[in-house]
Amino acid sequence: MALRLNASYAKGFISDDELKQLAPAVQQAHDALHNGTCAGNDFIGWLTLPTDYPAGNMSFEKGTANPEFNRIKAAAKKIQSDSDILIVIGIGGSYLGARAAIEYLTTPNYNLIKKDTPNIYYAGNSISGAALSELPELCEGKDVSLNMISKSGTTTEPAVAFRVLRKMLEDKYGKEEACKRIYCTTDANKGTLHDVAIKEGYETFVVPDDVGGRYSVLTAVGLLPIAVAGCDIDKLLEGAQAAQADFAKTADIEENVCYKYAAMRNVLYNKGYATEIMVSYEPAYQMMSEWWKQLYGESEGKDNKGLFPASVIFSTDLHSMGQYIQEGVRNLFETVCVFDKPKTDLEIGIDPENIDGLNFLAGENMDYVNKNAFGGTVLAHNDGGVPNIVLEIPDWSEYELGYLIYFFEKACAVSGIMLGVNPFNQPGVEAYKKNMFALLGKPGYEKEQAALAERLGDNFKKLINK
């Protein structure tokens, strides 16, 4: 059984007619994507990646069974056998997918549980000295490997972390042994990281040219760390392959749930619902929501358009954000992921004295209580004027996760095309970088430095102590 879309909790908010009217736009988006005529068409390698990647049909290794796919598995085995810790260095699309999949498939407490796979730490996903300086301490007395991931090979955050952690490894093992513990995932032919890796002799993996960072989780970017965590990457790709086949068959939204999701959010957006909140009732889903937020925010938020993607975990956030969702500004809708089968479950025991008054739950499983929390919440939020799109996912397996990843990727592309934006670029990300580089005095940006410092004023000078 595959992922299902339950539209019944959006019924009072979206009419059948409104959805039907979108059919031609959905068909056009489907055609533009599959014919390769959409904006950003040089970044649609992800569309057939689930089948092309393991078969070796990507641009970088056309026509051979993909030796890189087998190298990923071999490197993961080596890291599992010679390391207590893998540090994944990357930011945005170069780490979120891996982390999301690992926490979804194992647990957010992955590093704390008993297991025979390495702990996985993340670095280069901020410019926090506090976060980076914790790592050498965590690595003391442990065997460590690094997976440095950057498609461009020039992103500042991971580049700085790599400089620090590479030195840590070289000090620990010497240059030769450190070299055998450093894995670089980057462009096949160019970029600073590519050049460093070739010069130093690090093993490299490729981010295909036609796959953008936020669409790259099913390449080495995600697959290597996911495999190190002991998850089955064949099954993950199998699920994505099934989704690839299912969502290519027809553009009819009654038969294509991926397009139905895209169409429903499009209708809601056009009716003034400006924020989409991703909801799950499982903490293990939290990083998936982070991955989803990047995918949708970076793909659609441009040209002064796009839904703002937010996320909550219930019932946790019913005690913080629940009030706002129930009664705040009425421009929100929710997309809720519910699972037929729980990850694991626990029965609530009986207390003969019933001093806490909870015996009405005795003998019930936590999943039963959690699902009733969902039932109560979806109705309350509907009553409060919040449309809900519910995605029903069979289980927490690698297969279903692969299916879900592809579902979100394709819905995002179709949705962006319907919105009239290029879903595969991110021109807005450059604005802060230019300013930051100028303020830091990076060669080539000197001209803007003084003007920006002036705009920031004296308080900024105090803040940076200069």
Q: Which residues are catalytic?
A: 298, 319, 433
Rule CB under 6 A: say whether 99 interacts with ligand PA5.
no
- Asked if 155 touches ligand PA5 (CB under 6 A), the answer is yes
Q: 420 — phi, psi (to 5°)?
A: 90, 25
Q: What tokens appear for 88 in the block?
A: 């994944």
Please give the residues from 419 up to 448 whose contact with ligand PA5 meets the rule CB under 6 A. 426
Q: Name the nearest CA neighbour of 402 among 219, 259, 238.
A: 238
- At residue 388's C-alpha, the angle toward residues 216 and 425, to 5°, is 30
Kindly state whether residue 212 participates in binding ligand PA5, applying the rule CB under 6 A: yes
Of positions 10, 66, 76, 151, contacts ligand PA5 by CB under 6 A:
151
Q: How far is the CB of 108 from ligand PA5 (least distance, A)?
A: 22
- Residue 182: in which H helix or E strand, if any? strand 182-186
Q: Which is nearer to ligand PA5, 205 or 273 (CB)?
A: 205
Among 54, 213, 225, 309, binds ligand PA5 (CB under 6 A): 213
**Cα–Cα distance list, 155 to 98, 161, 191 (Å):** 18, 10, 10
Q: In whole angstroms, how far apart are CA 427 and each of 46, 342, 422, 438?
A: 20, 40, 10, 18
41 vs 152 by CB, closer to ligand PA5: 152
DSSP letter assigned to residue 307: P
By beta-carbon proximity to ligand PA5, the closer residue of 191 and 402 is 191
* Contacts to ligand PA5 from residues 244-283, by CB under 6 A: none
Q: Judged by CB under 6 A, which stretch of 151-159, 266-274, 312-320, 325-333 contacts ligand PA5?
A: 151-159
CB of 91 to ligand PA5, least distance (A): 5
Alpha-carbon distance of 207 to 198, in angstroms, equals: 15
Q: How far is the CB of 160 from ligand PA5 (least distance, A)?
A: 12
**CB-wise, 92 or 387, nearer to ligand PA5?**
92
| Residue among 282, 298, 334, 367 that touches ligand PA5 (CB under 6 A) | 298
For position 30 contacting ligand PA5 by CB under 6 A, the verdict is no
Binding status of residue 415 toward ligand PA5 by CB under 6 A: no
Using CB under 6 A as the binding rule, whether residue 91 contacts ligand PA5 is answered as yes
What does the CA dihedral 378, 379, 383, 385 come to, rounded to 10 degrees? 20
**By beta-carbon distance, which residue lies closest to ligand PA5?**
213
Q: Which is nearer to ligand PA5, 90 or 387 (CB)?
A: 90
End-to-end CA distance of the chain: 61
Q: Of residues 45, 92, 239, 387, which one binds ligand PA5 by CB under 6 A?
A: 92
Positive or negative torsion for Cα 68, 156, 296, 286: positive
List of residues 6+ apart from 222 with CB closer than 8 A: 97, 98, 101, 216
- The helix (run of H) or strand (run of E) holding residue 200 is helix 192-200
Beta carbon nearer to ligand PA5, 155 or 286: 155
**Smallest separation, CB 95 to ligand PA5 (Å):** 8
**Smallest distance from the beta carbon of 414 to ligand PA5, in angstroms?**
18
Tell me how far, at minimum, the Cβ of 156 lies from ligand PA5, in Å.
9
Reference 423, options 307, 308, 300; nearest CA is 300
Contact criterion met (CB below 8 Å) for 351 and 292 = no
Q: Considering only CA atoms, which of 236, 222, 239, 232 is closest in space to residue 98?
A: 222
Q: Is 391 in the site for ligand PA5 (CB under 6 A)?
A: no
Bond preceding residue 315 cis, omega within 30 of 0: yes
Nearer to ligand PA5, 33 or 386 (CB): 33
Burial of 330 (0-12, 13-18, 19+ CB in 10 A): exposed
Q: List contacts with ligand PA5 (CB under 6 A).
A: 91-94, 150-152, 155, 158, 212-214, 298, 426
